[in-house]
């Protein structure tokens, strides 16, 4: 073989197999969020994956504080795919598909939890507080209560009067 053919072949091989990869960047707005690609943890906050390769679909999942965002991306045919396909004797049409250049993920803000008990309602410990000075939160059926009452201070409501007169049996009286 002549020297020029060998040199041309060597330069072409070096040009095609330079070893540099174009990378896709995945960024989130939360620096401590976990990034998973096809189930594998690849980083927190910012991660990179190989952009060029065979046509495939990839699932990207981002977790932060109990929130999960899932994205599905696919490699597509680009101008680089066509160019490398022609240069590489059409094999580039198989291996030169590309992901988008970057993916920016904005996680929704977490809702602020509201207190179940407001500041005006204080909780009392039933084991250490005086049992005769309890705070009744809801009036029991048939009783009228004040804010702070003891067990003997709750009084039954007056029975409704009805047109029928009944005996003293409480089970037969209308409500």
Question: Which helix (H) or strand (E) segment is 4 a member of?
Answer: helix 3-16
pLDDT above 70: residue 84: yes
Residue 40: predicted pLDDT: 96
Chain mean position to CA 89: 46
User: In which band, very low, low, confident or very high, does the pLDDT at 57 lie, cut at 50, 70 and 90?
Assistant: very high
Higher pLDDT, 14 or 84: 84
Tokens at 92, concatenated: 């580039």
Query: What percentage of residues in the chain have a pLDDT greater than 90?
Result: 38
* Structure-derived torsion over alpha carbons of residues 127, 130, 134, 140, reported in degrees to the nearest 10: 70
What does the pLDDT look like over 16-33, one tens digit per residue? 665 557 899 999 999 999
pLDDT at 46: 96
d(Cα 76, Cα 96) in Å, to the nearest integer? 9
């Amino acid at each position: 073989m002549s020297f020029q053919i060998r040199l041309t072949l060597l330069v072409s091989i070096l040009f095609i197999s330079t070893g540099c990869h174009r990378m896709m960047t995945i960024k989130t707005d939360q620096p401590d969020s976990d990034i998973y690609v096809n189930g594998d943890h690849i980083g927190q906050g910012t991660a990179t994956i190989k952009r060029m390769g065979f046509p495939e679909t990839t699932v990207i999942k981002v977790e932060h504080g109990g929130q999960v965002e899932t994205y599905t991306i696919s490699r597509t045919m680009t101008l680089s795919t066509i160019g490398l396909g022609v240069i590489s004797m059409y094999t580039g049409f198989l291996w030169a598909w590309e992901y988008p250049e970057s993916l920016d993920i904005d996680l929704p803000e977490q809702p602020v939890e509201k207190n179940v008990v407001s500041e005006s309602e204080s909780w009392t410990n039933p084991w250490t507080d005086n049992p005769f000075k309890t705070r009744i939160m809801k009036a029991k059926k048939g009783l009228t209560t004040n804010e702070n009452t003891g067990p003997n201070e709750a009084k039954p409501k007056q029975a409704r009067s009805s047109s029928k007169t009944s005996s003293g049996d409480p089970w037969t009286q209308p409500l």
